[in-house]
Structure 1
Amino acid sequence: MKKTFLILFVFTFCNQITFAQKETTIVTLKNDDKAPVINKNIYGHFAEHLGRCIYGGFFVGDTSKIPNTKGVRNDIIAALKDLKIPNLRWPGGCFADTYHWKDGIGPQEQRPTIVNKWWGGVTEDNSFGTHDFLNMCELLETEPYLSGNVGSGTVQELADWVQYTNFSGKSPMSDLRKKNGRTEPWKVKFWGIGNEAWGCGGNMTAEYYAGEYRKFATFMSDWENTGGITRIASGSNSGDYNWTEVLMKNIPLNMLGGIGVHHYAVINWNKKGDGVDFTEEQYFKTMQSALKMEELVTKHGAIMDKYDPEKKVAMLVDEWGGWYEVEKGTNPGFLYQQNTMRDAVLAGATLNIFNNHADRVRMANLAQCVNVLQAVILTDKAKMITTPTYHVMKIYAVHQDAKLLPVSFQSPLYTVNGETLPAVSASASKDKNGAIHISLVNVDAKNKNKIEIDVKDLGVKNFTGTIITSAKLQDYNSFDTPNKIVPTAFKGFENKKGKLEITIPPFSVVVLEGK
C-alpha cells in the first residue's frame, strides 16, 4: 500500500489495442488454440485484520444473535459462495508481518492480546485465528492463501505453521493441531513469504529480501502433499521494476511459485478524494490510475519472461482496488469507504486486463472483502449489503477457468480537460461447455459507445446480456436502498447475420453470453 504515479498505457500479447476516434468500435475475437486458460484464482479476495473486515465483518463470535457458524456470519458465507470466490488471502497485508500464528490457536480465553499498530491502534484479542480462518475457508469452499510473517517472525515459526496446517503424520506441530481439535490437516497450498517487504514488511532492499526469501523458502517443506505448496514472493510496489528484476535474477525458479504485485487506483495519496462525492475529473483520475494496471502487468511480465520464458512462475496481483478517503465520521485507520458505479467500472476494466494477460497473471486479490477499501460486502450490525463491485465479480465469474479468446480493437477516446483514456475495455472467453462470454466496459462518463463484434466463426448463435449501470456515476447501494445497483437484463444489442451490434451506455459494465 504505497504511493504511485500515473503514466501512460502500454499494450501486449492478446490485448493489442490502439486508440482512435470512430463512431463504431470493431472488436475482433480470435479462436486461438494456444491461448491460455483464465485461472479462476484471478477472482480472489483479501481479508486482513484491519478495521471491520474480520471483527464485525466476517466474525461476530458464536454468542452473537446474528446467525453464524462457529462465529462466522452465515449471510456473508452465503454471499461469497454465490460469488464463487476461488481463494482468500489472510491475515494481511501489513498486519501479517506483526502476526504470530501461535497467538491465535488453543482456547480463545487463553490467547494473548496485541495492539494492531498498523490499523487504528486497536487491541487484537486473537479470537479469530488459524482454525477459525481455515475452517471458514472450508465453509466457503475456497482455497486459503496464508501470508507468513517474515518482518518480525522467524524461519522456524513459518516452517512450524506449514507443518501445523499440512502434515498428517506424527510431529510436534501436527500433535498440537490435534490437541486443539483438528485431526486432519487442511493442506494449505498458497503461502506468501512476507508482505510488502519493501515497506511495512521490513523496509528491505530487493537484494536483502531475495536472500531472506531463499532462507525462509528452504525450510518450508511439504513433502506429503501432491504438488507441494506454492511459495509466493512479496512483490513490487506498483512500478518498481527493479524489485521484480532482482527477485527473478536471484531466486532459483524451483523455489519460486509466484511473485506479487500491489497497485491501488488512487487520485493522490495526500488527497484521495471522497468515495461518493466526487467530480468527473476525479473519476477520470481514478480510472487513469486503475488502467495503469495494463502497463504494470506488461512490464513486470516482460522482466519475468527474461528469466522464465516458459512462464512457470505466476504473477499475483494480490492487492488491487480503489482507495479513497474514509467515510465521514469513521475511524481513519479502518479504511471504510462506500462503493459506487465508479468502482464497478474500475473492477470490470481491471478484471479485463487480468483476463487478457492470463498467460502470466494467475492470481489476484481484490482489497478487501468486507468493510475495507473496495469491498464486495458491507455490514452494519445485523445488516449486510453487496456492492456494485460484488455484482461485477459475480457476472464475471463465467470467465473462471475458461479459455481466453484474445481480443483486438481500436478504442474510442474518453477526454477530460485535454487528457484521454481508452473508453472501451473488453475481454472474452470460451468455457468448457462451449459458451462464449464477452465482457465490455464503457469507461466514458458521458457518452454511449457503439461496438460491433463478428461472431460468425465462434459456433454460437443465441446471445443474452447482463448489465450493471445506474442513473449517476456516484450511485451506490446503501443499507436503506440495498438493491439500487444490481445486474439486470441487457437488451442493447442485435445479432445481424453473425455480427453483434451493441450500444453500451456511459459508465456501465456488460457481459454477453452466446450459446
Structure 2
Amino acid sequence: MLPGALMAQQKSTVTVTAKADAPTISKHIYGHFSEHLGRCIYDGFYVGENSAIPNTKGVRNDIIAALKDLGIPNLRWPGGCFADTYHWKDGIGPKNQRPTIVNQWWGGVTEDNSFGTHDFLDLCEVLDTEPYLAANVGSGTVQEFTEWIQYVNHGGKSPMSDLRKKNNRETPWGVKFWGVGNEAWGCGGNMTAEHYANLYRQYATFMTDWSNTGELFRIASGANVADYHWTEVLMREIPKSLLDGVALHSYSFVTWEKKGSSTKFDESQYFETMKTALKMEELVTKHTEIMDKYDPKKKVALVVDEWGGWYDVEEGTNPGFLYQQNTMRDAMIAGTTLNTFNNHSDRVRMANLAQTVNVLQAVILTKGDKMLLTPTYHVMKLYKVHQDAKQLPVTLETPEYKFGNESLPAVSVSASQKEGKTHISLVNIDSKQKITTEIKLEGLNLKDFTAKIITSGKLQDCNTFENPTAITPKDFKDFKFKKGVLSVTLPPFSVVVLEGK
C-alpha cells in the first residue's frame, strides 16, 4: 500500500451530544500536588523571606502568578510518602525554634521545618485554592490527626485554636479536604486492605469539622493501580457515612525498573509510556464498577490524587529528588488523562497531578531566579475551560497508532459546555500521522469556532531555561465547519482545544 493511501485512511469520527442532565466536570479534577520531595517545596515554591528572588512570605511571586493564571482548584500537601512521617506540630511557631526532620523517603536530606502549616495554608489563600491536607496515619496517632483538624478549623475556644492564635492566626482556615494517610499499602505502612479499612474507620470516627456544617471531605488511601481487591474491601467495609472519597495512584512509564530518560527516548519508549497512560481509562472504569456495586448513587468520589509521567532523573541531579524535564510526551499524557477524567466525571471528582514544581511531571521548573512553564502547564491551562462545566457525552471512532505488533487508539476527546460556550479537547498521540477528525454536533446550535494547539517538531522537544517558550499554545486554523459538522486536521502528537459559540 502506498504511503499516501495509508495517510488517507487516518480519519476519526466524533459525536458530541447535548444532554440536559449531564454531570458537572468538577474543577477539582484539575488539582495539583506539592510534597516535601526534592526541590518541590524548598528551592521550588519556598525560597525564604530573605531571598533576593521576589517572594510573598517566602514563596516565589513568579510561581504564585503562574498558578493563579492556571486557576488551580486545590493543592495537596505535605505528601505523598512524606505525609506519614510528618508531625505537624514541628512546623508551627517561631521558625528558629522548630526542630529539624530527616526526609527518610527522598534523598535523606535534613529539613528545618521552616515551611509548615501556616505557610502552606496562607499560600493557598493567596492562590485562592482549596488546601488538601494528607495527614499522618502511618506513624501518627488519632489524637495528633484530630488536633490538626481542630488547629486549622476551630473558630471557638479550645487548646488547639488557642495555640493557633498564639501563632498569630486569629481566624481558622476551614480546610475541607483531608487524606486519611497515603499509600497505606506501601510507604504508608505496608498494610493489608482489611487492616487499613479498620484503621480508617477509627480515624474517621473522630474527625469533625468543628463548625457543625459537615463540610469535611474524608479521602481514604486507595488502590495502587489495578489493585481492585483494595477498592472492594474499602467500599464493602467502610460505612458511607464515614467516607467521601477513595484515592487511586497510577503513573506512566516504560517499565517500573527501566523508566528511561525524560528527553532521550525513542518511539518504542514513547509507545510503552503512552500504553500505561491510556490504561487510566481501564483503571477508572473497573474501580468505578466496584464502587457502583456498593454506592450506586455515586456519593463517594474516585480521587486520582497521584498521576503523571515518571522517568529517570536528569543527569547530575540527586536520584532521590525525582527532577525530570517535560516534553511533548508529557503533553500527550496530560491531554489524554484529563480527557479520561472529564468523561468519567460522574465518579472521578478530584485528581492531583504529581507534582507542581521540579518533581516528576511538573507544570513549573526553576533554576536559581529563573522559572519556566512546561508543556503540561500549557495543556492544563487550555483545559481549564472544562472546570465546573457540564460534561457533554462523546462517542469516538478512531484509527490506531501502531508500533510493531501493537496498537493504541490514536485520538482522545472530551467536551463540555459552560456559559454559552462549548469546548472540545482533542489529542492525537500518533507520532507520525496526522488525523482528520469529523465532529458531529447533536443538539448544539453552534456557529463560530476558534481553536488553540500545542505541538512541536519532535516528541522530545521541551522548554528550557535558555528557550522557555519553545512550546506554547498557538492559534489553530486547520479546521472547517459546514452543515453542522466540524472537520479538524490534527497534526502528529498534538493537543487541540476548540471553542464554539
Which bracket does the TM-score occupy, shorter chain normalised? over 0.9
- Correspondence for 1:275: 262
What is the root-mean-square deviation of aligned Cα atoms in Å? 0.9
Pairwise CA distance, 1:22: 4.7
- After TM superposition, the structure 1 = structure 2 runs for residues 100-111 of structure 1, keeping only pairs within 5 Å, are 100-111=87-98
Partner of residue 304 from structure 1, selected from 291, 296, 303: 291
1:464 paired residue number: 450
SS of 1:132's partner is: helix
Q: What are the residue-to-residue correspondences of 1:22-421 with 2, within 5 Å?
A: 22-224=9-211, 226-421=213-408
Alpha-carbon contact 2:10-2:434 (below 8 Å) kept: no
Determine if contact 2:440/2:486 at 8 Å carries over to the other structure. Answer: yes
Query: Helix, strand or coil: the match of 2:183?
Result: coil
Question: Which of 451, 454, 472 is residue 440 of structure 2 equivalent to?
Answer: 454
Q: What are the equivalent positions in structure 2 for 1:420-435 lying under 5 Å apart?
A: 420-431=407-418, 433-435=419-421
Q: Under a length normalisation based on structure 2, what TM-score does the superposition of the two structures give?
A: 0.98
TM-fit CA distance, 1:457: 3.1
User: 1:494 is matched with which residue?
Assistant: 480
Aligned: 1:510 with 2:487: no
Runs of 4+ more than 6 Å apart: none
Tell me, in whole angstroms, the C-alpha distance in 1 between the residues paired with 2:119 and 2:442: 51
> Which letter does structure 2 place at the counterpart of 1:342?
R
Residue by residue, what CA displacement relative to the aligned partner does 1:423-457 show, whole Å, maximum 9, x if unpaired?
A: 000000001x1100000000100000000112363
SS in 2 for 1:292: helix
Q: Please tell me the residue identity of whatever aligns with 1:474.
A: Q
1:219-254 CA distances to partner (integer Å, 9 max, x unpaired)? 111141533200100000000000000000000001
**For 1:405 and 1:290, how far apart are their aligned partners in 2?**
23
1:177-217 C-alpha deviation (Å, 9 max, x unpaired): 00000000000000000000000000000000001000011
CA distance in 1, matches of 2:9, 2:24: 32
Higher mean C-alpha deviation, range 293-302 or range 24-33: 24-33
| Residue type at the aligned position of 2:317 | T
CA separation in 2, counterparts of 1:38 and 1:456? 20
What is the alpha-carbon distance in structure 2 between the residues aligned to residue 251 and residue 406 of structure 1? 32
Identify the residue that residue 445 of structure 1 maps to in structure 2: 431
Question: Partner amino acid for 1:420?
Answer: S
Q: Deviations over 1:43-66 (max 9, x none)?
A: 000000000000000000000000
Which residue identity is paired with 1:496?
Answer: K
Question: Counterpart of 2:4?
Answer: none
**Comparing 485-494 and 23-32, the one that deviates more:** 23-32
Tell me if the contact between 2:301 and 2:350 (Cα under 8 Å) persists in the aligned partners: yes
Of the candidates 464, 478, 481, which is equivalent to residue 478 of structure 1? 464
Contact 1:330 1:336 in 2 (8 A): yes
How many pairs align?
494
Q: What amino acid is the match of 1:382?
A: D
Amino acid at match of 1:361: V
Output the CA distance in 2 between the equivalents of 1:294 and 1:109: 48
Tell me the CA shift for residue 484 of structure 1.
0.1
Q: Which runs of 5+ in 1 are unaligned?
A: 1-20
CA distance in 1, matches of 2:176, 2:10: 49
1:468 Cα offset (Å): 0.2
- CA shift, 1:139, in A, is 0.5
Which sits farther off after the overlay, 68-77 or 26-35? 26-35
User: In 2, distance between residues paired with 1:165 and 1:350?
Assistant: 33
Instruction: Determine the C-alpha separation between the residues in 1 that align with 2:367 and 2:212.
Output: 41
Any idea what the Cα deviations from partners look like across 1:454-481, whole Å, max 9, x if unmatched? Answer: 2363111000000000011100000000
Distance 1:480 1:188 in 2: 40
Residue of structure 2 equivalent to 1:13: none
Structure 2 unmatched ranges of 5 or more: 1-7
Q: Is this contact kept in 1: 2:150–2:210, CA < 8 A?
A: no
1:5 aligns with: none
CA contact (8 A) 2:479 2:487 kept: yes
- Structure 1: distance between partners of 2:44 and 2:101: 20
Tell me the distance in 2 between the aligned counterparts of 1:224 and 1:119. 37
Distance 2:476 2:271 in 1: 25
- Mapped to 2, the partners of 1:456 and 1:240 lie a distance apart of 38
1:383 deviates by: 0.3
**TM-score, scaled relative to structure 1:** 0.95
SS of residue in 1 equivalent to 2:324:
coil
Check conservation: 1:456, 1:499, Cα contact below 8 A.
no
Task: Kindly provide the CA deviation profile for residues 116-169 of structure 1, in whole angstroms up to 9, marking residues without a partner as x.
Answer: 000000001100000000000000000000000000000000000000000000
**Which digits, 9 at most, give the CA deviation of each residue in 1:350-388, with x for residues without a partner?**
000000000000000000000000000000010000000
**In the aligned structure 1, how far is the partner of 2:292 from the partner of 2:9?**
35
- Equivalent-residue separation in structure 1 for 2:395 and 2:213 (angstroms): 39
Check 1:74–1:205 CA distance in 2 against 1; reply closer, same or farther (3 A cut): same
Q: Report percent identity of matched pairs.
A: 70
